[in-house]
Chains A and B, each alone.
Chain A
């Protein structure tokens, strides 16, 4: 079992719809969770991070964390074609520790 798991996709959503991405983790020692967006040939860029149970919103993005279920999700509202990318979920045990990445979910937003 991989430490951080994501559906590889592709997740196809129409423009303007909500994209829902899921991530599960196996290590209960994980403290913080990150969502990155990565365009082809580019480095990952941070969308947001979350470390408390519940929801965290930032613009069109909402991250949700449920530590009891070891589950993290990302919602993208009003999806735009420019949101088409691979989304990476990552977990960390403590500040300064290594990030463990999931395999990524490819999202395609169709006009």
Chain B
């Protein structure tokens, strides 16, 4: 089956620093990738949608200058949390769509970000 990886799986950083999270589709080309954030005991909230080679589309309330998304290739998307603060601590999950006729998206294992 389609596999999506994320790196790192966990990251701890100091307040004010920037953190980059990678999302890779390992055995398929991802036409579209999605970035979600999940706070404890809450559901997944979509942050942004990115298509290869174009600018990401951000959901209402998500700061595009704080959460930089790059989808430079069909197998890699990156999310950079700039000037991270403790309130950015969360579980970040990416998913990818292979452009096929099915609606299924394939989820990465997630990245746990802790900002001290």
Contact = CB atoms under 8 A, between A and B. Distances in A.
B43 A43 contact: no
B43 A88 contact: yes
Contact of B109 (A42, A49, A97): A42
A75 B64 CA distance: 40
A88 B103 contact: no
Contacts of A100: 46
Residue in B42, B95, B107 with the greatest tally of chain A CB atoms within 10 Å: B107
Contact of A101 (B44, B91, B97, B100): B44
Interface in B50-93: 91, 93
A34 B43 CA distance: 14
Given A43-B109, A96-B97, A99-B34, A104 B104 contact: no
Interface in A69-111: 88, 92, 94-104
Which secondary structure dominates chain A's binding surface? Answer: loop
Contacts of B34: 98-99
Given A43-B109, A43-B110, A45-B107, A95 B43 contact: no
A44 B99 contact: no
Interface in B7-38: 31-32, 34
A61 interface: no
Contacts of B49: 98
A44 B103 contact: no
A99 B105 contact: yes
A34 B45 CA distance: 16
Nearest to A6: B43
B46 A49 contact: no
21 contacts: A31-B103, A34-B103, A34-B104, A41-B112, A43-B110, A44-B44, A44-B93, A44-B107, A45-B107, A46-B104, A95-B97, A95-B100, A95-B102, A95-B103, A97-B103, A99-B44, A99-B46, A100-B46, A101-B43, A101-B44, A104-B43
Interface of A: 31-32, 34, 41-46, 49, 51, 88, 92, 94-104
Given A95-B103, A99-B44, 7 more contacts: A42-B109, A44-B93, A44-B107, A92-B103, A95-B97, A102-B43, A103-B42
